[in-house]
Chains A and B, each alone.
Chain A
Amino acid sequence: MAEVAFENVSKEFPGGTFAVDDLTLSIGDGEFLILVGPSGCGKTTALRLIAGLEKPTAGTIRIGAEAVNGVSPRDRDIAMVFQNYALYPHMTVQKNLAFGLRERRTPRRETDRRVREISAILSLDELLKRRPAQLSGGQRQRVAMGRALVREPKVFLLDEPLSNLDAKLRVQMRAELKRLHRRLGITTVYVTHDQVEAMTLADRIVVMSGGKALQIGAPQEVFSRPANLFVAGFIGSPAMNLLRGRAAPAPDGIWETKITAGQLCFERAGVPGGEVVVGIRPESLVPGGAELTGPSLDLEIELVEPLGELALVHGTVAGTAARSGAEEEEAILLDETSRAPVTALFSASLQPRSGDRVQVGVDPARIYLFDAATGEAIRP
């Protein structure tokens, strides 16, 4: 087991694109770290740099105390689970598990013992004689993890290991993975684009975009204190609502700054004047009537998606939408510039219907503010 460190690491591909751009990051011994970001953000390249499958073009990577830039993958004592599992199709599960040990000249007796041990942990005993083609997706996934863990590596790398499983199995494997990590305590680096996986599994999250780490922190911290617009838009499901607004400091500078975005109007201390982006999480929007005293929005409901206990409400409010840069797709069918799309989570008992107009209130303390020009969070 070991720490892993990136020291100003860059990976430039031929053609001048930086997959990883001046990344500095240290991963503690036994930590479960998740690299999360949209596709193409450099998270997989970062993982491959640790594995030694890519060589950095600048900077130093350390595993333990040793700089491993020139060390080949086989000598790094790491293990990796690939997105498509990469099980050796011509070998039985037993041989798949034993391959790494045999290649390292582990005595047969010791190999057998470790294979038995890991297959007991991952309940693979029944499958040892089968080939990968005869396994279900979940079974393959477990074999892939077993093959990596059987070597008792210093660092355990996982590249979107759950993305090929169906939703139910994914939730189950997610829990198993967390239990496994707690039991074995191996330093783990996990790549995913699924922020739910990131939130639930990680000790710390690294939100990446364009090869840079935009924010590093505990899941809850990244969620409740996003460092910038991108992180705010990326973390949280459904995504944070973003509106363009203006901050106008009171003339004498004693009073709080007045912030307006469409109909939304509130005051906050210590905010410099200028263009801002106002962020409100869907869960923070509370439906109400005339009794609302704080800032509120006039939401016109267009679509309701029932989720059981809650209902996901899509609608529009007066104002201009802002973009975080983390959107998966360009929004379609939203050509009205005078109205901005807003998502809210209501209790299903309120029975929201499309076409309704609802007054929604928001606690000013739960409104996020970002600089419209730089995207950085404006914090008091």
Chain B
Amino acid sequence: MTGSTVPASRVPSLATGAKAGAERGRRGGSASQREPGQFLFSPWHLVLIPIAIAMLVPMVWMLATSLETLNETRHFPPIILPHTLRPANYSDVLTQAPFARWFVNTMIVTVVTVAGNLLFCSLAGYAFARIKFFGREVVFVLILATLMIPFQVVMIPTFIIVKDLGMINTLYALIVPNLAGAFGIFLLRQFFRTLPVELEEAARIDGASRLSVLFKIVLPLSGPALATLAVITFLWTWNDFLWPLITIYTPNNMTLQLGLATFEGTHQTSFNLLMAANVMSMLPVLLLFFLAQRYFIRGIATSGLKG
């Protein structure tokens, strides 16, 4: 392998070695259009392929289970290729549970939370990045420190506040406490600080107010950071389970993750229905992932801030 990758001219010392190398090089060259010095695959693939398989197996298993009959799901060892496809699982989910309602609830909560994070974290992040005020560093460190407190610690106090605000068992309980977050503030502050400050100074001299500078100059140039925050907030909110579990108790106000849990019974679980519901609840996340992935690549390729 290595012999064919070394260009003949670079093979040192022995004339015979050089000749053999040249021959091998020629043969390798005619067999494929590879450039010298390139492997068929990177050694990284030896690591990445097993990891990819390990990540894909649960997905495939979920998809398979969602198309099986209840009996097949209980078979051991598990059946990966169902004998007969049962797409009716999907329609069963939609009729047996208020699945559409959960979907809409989750959508509302997620979209509003993402929008709130983009807005409020931009404002706060910009203030921390560019506006000098007394105690800025201290407040910023305090906000950062909240990242280190586990959710389980603040869960009960937050619950009490939300209860006192009369939001228990409403979608407000899911939205309001999450409208801004330390992570988003940190992420955007760090990104804003990388933008050339002259752009903002030029805009201020041009007559823009601080808010104008943020919305007309800074945010249009922060696409990649905003996209990152949007995707991460979307995933967190969409997949959140614990907080909805303790604040929502009527099925009509549930989110998807909470609703899915109701498929798990005390004595038996309809795994085929649960997995069908799971597949449906995952689709928006997958869709977003593929869209955002394209956006990230574009964001990196065209980050022509200079000039």
* B304 close to A (CB within 8 Å): yes
Contact indicator A74/B209 (Cβ below 8 Å): yes
Contact of A88 among B199, B201, B212 (CB under 8 A): B199
With a cutoff of 8 Å between Cβ atoms, the chain A residues found around residue B304 in the complex are: 89, 133
Chain B interface mostly: helix
Q: Let me know if B207 and A133 touch, CB within 8 A.
A: no
Tell me which residues across on chain B come within 8 A of A85, comparing CB atoms. Answer: 307
For B207, give the chain A residue with the smallest CB separation: A103
Closest to B303 in A: A89
**Nearest Cβ distance between residue B216 and chain A, in whole angstroms?**
8
Q: Answer whether residue A86 sits at the interface, using C-beta atoms and an 8 A cutoff.
A: yes
For the complex, is B203 an interface residue (Cβ under 8 Å from A)? yes
Cβ-closest chain B residue relative to A137? B307
1/0 per residue, CB under 8 A from B, across A51-73: the answer is: 11100000000000000000011
Q: Which residues of A contact B306 (CB under 8 A)?
A: 84, 89, 133
Interface string of A177-206 (1 = CB under 8 A from B): 000000000000000000000000000000
Evaluate contact between A80 and B205: CB separation under 8 angstroms: yes
Contact at A87–B307, with CB atoms within 8 Å?
yes
**Mostly helix, strand, loop or mixed at chain A's interface?**
loop
Inter-chain contact B201/A86, CB cutoff 8 Å: yes
Kindly supply a per-residue 1/0 record for chain B positions 168-208, scoring 1 wherever the CB is within 8 Å of any chain A CB and 0 otherwise: 00000000000000000000000000001011011111111
Residue B245 at the chain A interface, CB threshold 8 Å: no
Partner of A86, one of B202, B207, B208: B202
Give the residues in chain A near B265, CB-CB below 8 Å: none
CB-CB < 8 A to A297: which residues of B?
A: none
Is residue A99 contacting chain B, with contact meaning CB distance below 8 A? yes
Is residue A79 contacting chain B, with contact meaning CB distance below 8 A?
yes
Interface 1/0 per residue, B219-257 and A, CB below 8 Å? 011000000000000000000000000000000000000
Residues of chain B with a CB closer than 8 A to A78's CB: 205
Interchain CB contact under 8 A, A73 and B201 = yes
**Complex-state Cα separation, A125 to B43, whole angstroms:** 54
Contact code string A91-117 (vs B, CB < 8 Å = 1, else 0): 000000001100110000000000000
Contact A86 B204 (CB under 8 A): no
| Any B CB within 8 A of the CB of A212 | no
Q: Does B217 contact A (CB under 8 A)?
A: yes
B residues less than 8 Å from A90 (CB atoms)? 220-221
In the assembled complex, the Cα of A85 lies from the Cα of B202 at a distance in Å of: 9
In angstroms, Cα B306 to Cα A83, docked, is 12
**CB proximity of A307 to chain B, nearest CB, Å:** 34
B221 touches A82 (CB 8 A): no
Q: Which residues of chain B have C-beta atoms less than 8 A from A218's C-beta? A: none
Q: Are B207 and A140 interface neighbours, CB within 8 A?
A: no
CB of B55 closer than 8 Å to a CB of A:
no
A132 adjacent to chain B (CB < 8 Å): yes
Hey, which chain B residues are within 8 Å of A11, CB to CB? none
Please tell me if A244 contacts chain B, counting CB pairs below 8 Å.
no
> Which residue of the partner chain B has the closest CB to A139?
B307
Name the residue of chain A whose CB is nearest to the CB of B223. A90
Instruction: Out of A52, A89, A100, name the residue touching B221 (CB < 8 Å).
Output: A89
Return the 8 tightest CB-CB contacts between A and B, nearest first.
Answer: A100-B206, A86-B198, A103-B207, A86-B202, A133-B304, A132-B307, A74-B207, A90-B220
Question: A residues within 8 Å of B by Cβ?
Answer: 51-53, 72-74, 76, 78-80, 82-90, 99-100, 103-104, 132-133, 135, 140, 147, 151
Task: Sample 22 A-B pairs with CB under 8 A, ordered by A number.
Answer: A53-B204, A73-B204, A74-B205, A74-B206, A78-B205, A80-B201, A84-B198, A86-B196, A86-B201, A88-B203, A88-B217, A89-B221, A89-B304, A89-B305, A99-B203, A103-B203, A103-B208, A132-B307, A133-B306, A133-B307, A135-B307, A147-B206
